[in-house]
Amino acid sequence: MAYRVTFIPGDGTGPEIAEATKRVLDATGVDFDWDIQQAGVDIMAEEGTPLPQATIDSILTNKIGIKGPITTPVGTGFRSVNVALRKICNLYACVRPTKYYDGVRTKYKDVDLVFIRENTEDLYAGIEFERDTPETGKLIEYLRDINPDASFGEGTGISIKPISVEGSRRIVEYAFQYARDNGRKKVTAVHKANIMKFTDGLFLEIATQVAAENPDIEFEERIVDNMCMQLVQKPELYDVLVLPNLYGDVLSDLGAGLTGGLGVAPGANIGTNAALFEPTHGSAPKYAGQNKVNPMAMMLSGVMMLRYLKENEAADKMENAIAAIIKEGKTVTYDMKPDRNDPTAVGTSEVADGIIAKMEEA
């Protein structure tokens, strides 16, 4: 039986790394029926939106998809396609493993973490009020009435940070179940409840309740700024981290920095009705069409997809081949060389060739 999977190339360098990933996934021997759909800046002119309805319908119908990176304009323009997909498809859990592979240039050799990030709430809910508008003025007046100590002045933009009982419970329960399913021993809840007592405080309260219901898994909590220091000093002490949306985004990038950067940082967005797999990094449009960028983050996202489909043998074969290529250090892109100007660095498609050859050898 073929798996019907939504395949979104993305924009910028996305199509190149997506094609390389698709070739490697096909070479695992698993039968895929790719449903190719578009999203991002490249489809804007044709569709008038970076996220066509057909793409959304495809994910909701197939219930599984893999996508290349998509550009998110900074400051202006459309909001993040990634955030929109997570909301529309209710992909409430973002899963970002951070794992050391032998051969990666880093001083951290004993790192194997998983960041479980809440995907739908927090400041990424996108509830914002632009400065110097009548609506924002009314909101500032209201906030001054209920909190006279608040120091709001003209020229203030405001974001609302919603954290709910339901959203917090759902993501923490997912983290504990993920730990149990994957042989993990400990879950750490990350928060700033000492300052944000009614939002992060709620998240911590629910996390503590869920932990009491799962006594087979060790639980602890850390304040987010301390957690950043802990990850840099002694990441080997941690296992599964569960975090609200913003902290999860920031700390998972910190985690990627420990183990070689975003070029080897996969990700998945999991919901009750669908799952979407994607690399953590951006679309790097300045390198588009140059066959230059590292495709391994998306390939490792493909490994996560195979495990989600319970194709564990194929997942092991693909991950082992990627690990072997990294360890050898020959068929890798410039960013994985000790000298980024190394003339022996290969291109995106050549990395796929090397990984496919390794799988064939195995």
Cite the active site residues: 124, 192, 225, 249
- Give me the phi and psi of 329, to 5 degrees please: 75, 15
Q: Name the CA dihedral angle for 116, 275, 66, 73, rounded to a multiple of 10 degrees.
A: -60
Distance of CA 111 to the CA centre of its chain: 18
Residues contacting residue 53 through CB under 8 Å, at least 6 positions apart: none
Give the C-alpha separation, 315 to 7, whole Å.
Answer: 18
Give the C-alpha separation, 338 to 206, whole Å.
Answer: 45
Q: Name the CA dihedral angle for 129, 131, 132, 136, rounded to a multiple of 10 degrees.
A: 30
Give the C-alpha separation, 26 to 213, whole Å.
Answer: 41
Give the C-alpha separation, 99 to 303, whole Å.
Answer: 13
Which structure tokens are listed for 203?
């998240």
Give the C-alpha separation, 77 to 88, whole Å.
Answer: 19
CA nearest to 12, candidates 283, 281, 351, 269: 283
Helix/strand/coil percent split, the chain, to 5? 45, 15, 40
- Give me the phi and psi of 72, to 5 degrees please: -115, 115
CA nearest to 275, candidates 301, 249, 294: 301
